[in-house]
Structure 1
Amino acid sequence: MDWDKLRIFHAVADAGSLTHAGDTLHLSQSAVSRQIRALEESLGTTLFHRHARGLILTEQGELLFEATSSMARKLDSASARIKDSEENVLGELKVTATVGFGTLWLAPRLVKLYRKYPDLKIDLILEERVLDLPMREADVAIRMKEPSQSDLIRRRLLNIRMRLYATTEYLAHAGTPKTMEDLAKHRIICQKTDQPQVAAGARLVQEVMAQNVNSTLTVNNYFGVLQSVLAHVGIGVLPDYLTADHPELVRVLDDTESGEVPVFLAYPEELRQTQRVAAFRDFVLEEIQAYRRYQSENSNAH
């Protein structure tokens, strides 16, 4: 089978249009069309249904596109491994994480990784949706639960809990609650329970809101909750890892917290030897160790 024709077929199937594929490949529409016809003739089958709105894969076309997609992923992986070297970590690294952890913990630390590897290009994808790593929607993921796919290398980084925090200034003005019932007199800042978030956090929010709280501020991500707490607006439901970077946060009701939430690092088996993935993994593990030391020193101090 002609590799060049397969490459052109893959571009057409991906774009759904001869014109768009031609633009990507720097070929004329007629040249692309000739190659597709020649491929269909060599296979003795029709690969596309042709419509006024574009091209739709036939069943046979879907089978071939699945095969060329797999080839493309393997070629990308091989290309990345060839470009990488022991001394030279470079190229693009797609990292996915939840909005909260990615914004509040990961992003502020990336300057250390860039200092070490200035040629690295990181594409940071922050969303609650779980991206498909084997399908290369991302190279590395930091997730709030253990990945279910079997062909992923995974490592538990730490366990976090959701807790109640405020600032000294807010507590001096509004008073410090001594019991859960006292929360009714305070403004509570949190995510709504119908927003995408870890189940343990949602349960703690429900428990807090059950205290007949009069005044609330709901935000659709933890960054907004944190900024509001730091601005002395009220008592916020926040992940405990924030205390390392924000020592001004004061914990409220020491016995009130969510269940443990595991944080996992995961990446596809085929990227095990890729230097930029290894560099990111080692960087994250070093930062987690530093965070654990901070936790240990703080707990000893108390």
Structure 2
Amino acid sequence: MRTFDWEFLPHFLAVARAGNLRAAAEMVGTSHGTVNRNIQALETSYGVRLFHRSRQGFSLTEFGEALLPMAEDAEQKIFAARKRVEGFDRSEAGKIRFSLTPILAYDIVAPIVARFSEQYPEIDIEMRLTSEVESITNDETDISLRAAQDVTDDVVARKLFQLEIGVYASKEYLENTVPNAGADGVGLTWIGAPTNRTPQSWSRPSPFPNATLRHEVSDGQMRVHFVNLSVGMSHLPTLIEPAFPNIRRMPGTHVSPGPWLWVLLHSDLRRTVRVRRFVDFLTEELRALHKAGKHSRSI
């Protein structure tokens, strides 16, 4: 393989995965014209066509199909090499890519990151807010805060605590809407998440089986804000309580066990000082917040 082929392989992989130049260009952070030129240069280097081109996009030829697993293997080895070298970093400086869901980010984790930044001014955090599970092994992120029952990824996983889920509404909703509700929640509104479940299965575990599921919102943070705006009630993690004093638990409801909260990181990064400092700080702060919430609910 010629030396410059290494430069073109990420563009080959992006087109193979995206199926068109524009989406591939977004993946590698360049223009679609650059991606096209590099694909053509790679094909010239190998002396074969790697893609069929049509109005529908790009599809792999038999030569492209043969190259794909080897290019992916090379990509993984490069990722592993970078992580291995980063793992020897002993300094309290540099950047950490941190992936987490929006419902935990704005009002729960952001204050923790702010306090961490004061204590470690030379460590920069690139927060990646997404409801998707970003891959640590594929180098999409360095550290991930994930809610899950179990973790099977090939990563270092620190199990924090089991989340608790309650039914919440705003203070105004409790004062103005709930007293006028009919039997079993008639007249009340659920704010749910898009699922394959029926409205009845969403509300059955609560005292409000006759409440209406009117809104379905995939983003957890948006559900919190709808509840705060008195749009309706919703199932939310109890961790939101300190950040939203206007949001209260619905009367007659109880918290139920949810998924576990995990901090995940690449095995090679656990020796990196800045990563270890951040993971330890985040873990301690979240556990303290969870413990304080349980104590306040028991009083």
TM-score category (smaller protein): 0.7 to 0.9
> Could you say what secondary structure the match of 2:251 adopts?
strand
Which residue pairs with 1:13 in the alignment?
A: 12
Q: Is the 8 A contact 1:204 1:258 kept in 2?
A: no
**C-alpha separation in 1, matches of 2:48 and 2:275:** 37
Which residue pairs with 1:191 in the alignment?
A: 192
Which residue pairs with 2:227 in the alignment?
A: 229
Matched, 1:170 2:173: yes
- Letter of the aligned partner of 2:95 in structure 1? G
Q: Is the 8 A contact 1:48 1:55 kept in 2?
A: no
Runs of 4+ in structure 1 displaced over 6 angstroms?
none
Q: Is the 8 A contact 1:189 1:235 kept in 2?
A: yes
Q: Which of 85, 104, 108 is matched with 1:105 structurally?
A: 108
Which stretches in structure 2 are left out of the alignment for 5+ residues? Answer: 16-20
Deviations 1:143-193 (A, max 9, x none): 221454352111221212221223333323235599x944224x3242245
**C-alpha separation in 2, matches of 1:100 and 1:247:** 16
Matched, 1:120 2:118: no
Q: Is the 8 A contact 2:91 2:274 kept in 1?
A: no
**C-alpha separation in 2, matches of 1:194 and 1:276:** 39
Residues 271-280 or 157-166, more deviating: 271-280
Deviations 1:178-212 (A, max 9, x none): 9x944224x324224528xxx9xx95545449722
Matched, 1:71 2:74: no
Q: Is the 8 A contact 1:134 1:268 kept in 2?
A: yes
Residues 72-81 or 156-165, more deviating: 72-81
**C-alpha separation in 1, matches of 2:107 and 2:48:** 47
Say if 1:60 and 1:162 are closer, same or farther in 2 by CA, change over 3 A: same
Which residue pairs with 1:91 in the alignment?
A: 95
Give how far 1:236 is off: 3.1
> Could you say what secondary structure the match of 1:291 adopts?
helix
Q: Is the 8 A contact 1:147 1:266 kept in 2?
A: no
Say if 1:177 and 1:135 are closer, same or farther in 2 by CA, change over 3 A: farther
**C-alpha separation in 1, matches of 2:222 and 2:111:** 16
**C-alpha separation in 2, matches of 1:140 and 1:87:** 16
Say if 1:260 and 1:220 are closer, same or farther in 2 by CA, change over 3 A: closer
**C-alpha separation in 2, matches of 1:177 and 1:261:** 34
Residues 5-14 or 206-215, more deviating: 206-215
Q: Is the 8 A contact 1:163 1:240 kept in 2?
A: yes
CA-based RMSD of the aligned residues comes to 3.9
**C-alpha separation in 1, matches of 2:202 and 2:213:** 17
Which residue pairs with 2:133 in the alignment?
A: 130
Give how far 1:122 is off: 0.7
- Letter of the aligned partner of 1:287 in structure 2? E
Say if 1:203 and 1:275 are closer, same or farther in 2 by CA, change over 3 A: farther
- Letter of the aligned partner of 2:192 in structure 1? Q
- Letter of the aligned partner of 1:75 in structure 2? A
Give how far 1:113 is off: 2.6
Q: TM-score, normalised by structure 1?
A: 0.73
**C-alpha separation in 2, matches of 1:280 and 1:227:** 28
Which residue pairs with 2:277 in the alignment?
A: 279
Which residue pairs with 1:252 in the alignment?
A: 250
Q: Which of 151, 155, 160 is matched with 1:157 structurally?
A: 160
**C-alpha separation in 1, matches of 2:65 and 2:233:** 57
Identity of aligned residues (%): 16
Give how far 1:73 is off: 0.3
Matched, 1:291 2:289: yes
Say if 1:63 and 1:193 are closer, same or farther in 2 by CA, change over 3 A: closer
Q: Which protein is bigger by CA-based radius of gyration?
A: 1
> Could you say what secondary structure the match of 1:253 adopts?
coil
- Letter of the aligned partner of 1:86 in structure 2? S
Give how far 1:241 is off: 0.8
- Letter of the aligned partner of 2:83 in structure 1? S
Say if 1:283 and 1:213 are closer, same or farther in 2 by CA, change over 3 A: same
Give how far 1:291 is off: 0.6
